[in-house]
Amino acid sequence: MKEIFTKYIKKKLIIKKKLITFYKRIVFYENFFLFLKIIKFKINNLYIYKLSIKEIRFYLLNFFKKEEQIILRLNFNKIKNIKNKKNHFLAKKIMIESIQRLATSLPIENSISLFNLDSLEIKQKIIGKNGINIRALETLTGVEIIIDDNPDYILISSFNPIRREIARLSISKLILDCIIYPSRIEEIVFLSEKEILKEIFYIGKKTIIDMGIRMIHPELIKIVGKMKYRSSYGQNLLQHSCEVANLSSILSSEIGLNIKFAKRAGLLHDIGKVSDLESEFSHAVLGMNWAKKYGEHPYIWNSIGSHHDEIEMKSLLSPIIQISDTISSSRPGVRRNHYDSYLKRLNDLEILALNCNGVKKAFALQSGKELRVIVESETIDETKIYKLSRDLIIKIKNKVNFPGEIKITVIREIKSLEF
């Protein structure tokens, strides 16, 4: 029975194929007869106008040329459509394979660090008499230290991860020393800042070695290290950049582009986001200027500058970086869209204060509800403090769109050292 059934299916398929070819021939002959009718009609018209044989021949040759061109154009469009379908399928296949080869976690950055304490006694030492130690820590590090009734931990709050890390490191060193007073806190914070700068360079160097990148400027190594302490929409910037670098190299290998260039450009594509200073340029253009300044290849700095379509793309590497950046940042759950705008608002507050004459440091605290400003005692005297705070209020009202009230604290410190 099975053999009879298979024979029947085979015969059915053969008949189907024959019918298809037969219908194709019918269509061809119908078109051919229609074409002959058109020619006959054209020739009859030419005889009516009493043209010579040479003129008829010339006219018919032109007619056939036009018909050939139409047929060729139709065939070309068919081939083009088939190729486009194949290219779309191939592009999707490459994308899916590349994403499958890229396995990453989805951590989201927070603006609070938790520091565990061994006892209530240590907590009291950190606070100090009348809160003198905790105020010194907050002033020097630019963070807000939140202390509640729980003796097991304290919270270090700041939108800037580098400041949080300096504060965390300083507190851990002070606890180990068991000597906590304002001048000692100042020494420890200074040492912690130095240590963090070394750590930043080490992270940058390790990342570059792990990625297999060679011959890179020391300043770019520092910038790469700083990316660990930066976030974009809650996504860690260094992790995102490494992800883009790996994805770019995979895509480049699939289409035969320079893998080393792709990895390098992918890692450096967001270096402009590391800048602490206010700039007239976007992060893409700022990153491009840095890459150009520190001797990167034109293809690399062009792909950095064009990954948000702000400048013209000059090589195939540029769209590869753009695609990889989009894939890395658009995966579900990887980003919080409101987070970056919140950080920008806090950063804008600090920049406004730092642009004022005589301001040494400025820290936005309590989610932007407080702006703490430290001034130079030589430049700003006691009479100018009130004027500075009023000027800041006017500037904030005019330039920063911030809900609610902002408390401005201006600190002027005088030190007297005698030996």
Q: What's the CA gap between 343 and 161, in Å, rounded?
A: 11
Q: Which of 173-177, 297-301, 388-392 has the highest mean pLDDT?
A: 297-301
Mean pLDDT on 149-158: 75
How confident is the model over 266-323, as pLDDT tens digits?
999 889 888 766 567 788 889 899 999 999 999 999 999 988 888 888 888 888 888 8
Q: Angle CA(379)–CA(383)–CA(386) in degrees, nearest 5?
A: 100
| pLDDT, position 108 | 46
Domain 343-412 has CATH 3.30.1150.10: no
Question: Higher confidence at residue 74 or residue 175?
Answer: 175
Indicate if the pLDDT at residue 386 is higher than 50. Answer: yes
Question: Residue 19 and residue 329: Cα distance in Å, rounded?
Answer: 53
Q: How far is 343 from 265, CA to CA, in rounded Å? A: 26
Task: Find the mean pLDDT for residues 201-222.
Answer: 91
Domain residue ranges of the chain, discontinuous segments joined by +:
2-74, 112-201, 211-335, 343-412
Task: Assign 351 a pLDDT band (cuts: 50, 70, 90).
Answer: confident
How many Cα atoms occupy the beta-carbon half-sphere of 45 within 13 Å? 8
Strands (E) in 176-313, as ranges, are 231-232, 235-236
- pLDDT class of 222 with cuts at 50, 70, 90: very high
211-335: what CATH class?
A: mainly alpha
Q: How far apart are the C-alpha atoms of 186 and 191, rounded to whole Å?
A: 9
Q: CATH classification of 112-201, choosing from 3.30.1370.10, 2.40.50.140, 3.90.550.10, 3.90.1170.50?
A: 3.30.1370.10
Instruction: Judge whether residue 32 has pLDDT over 60.
Output: no
Helix (H, G, I), strand (E, B) or coil at 374: strand
- Which tokens sit at 236? 């860690």
98 CB contacts (<8 Å, ≥6 apart)? 247, 250, 251, 254
pLDDT of residue 220: 92
First-to-last alpha carbon distance for the chain, in angstroms, is 113
215 vs 231, residue with greater confidence: 215
pLDDT bucket at 90, cuts 50 / 70 / 90: low
Q: Does the pLDDT of residue 51 top 70, yes or no?
A: no
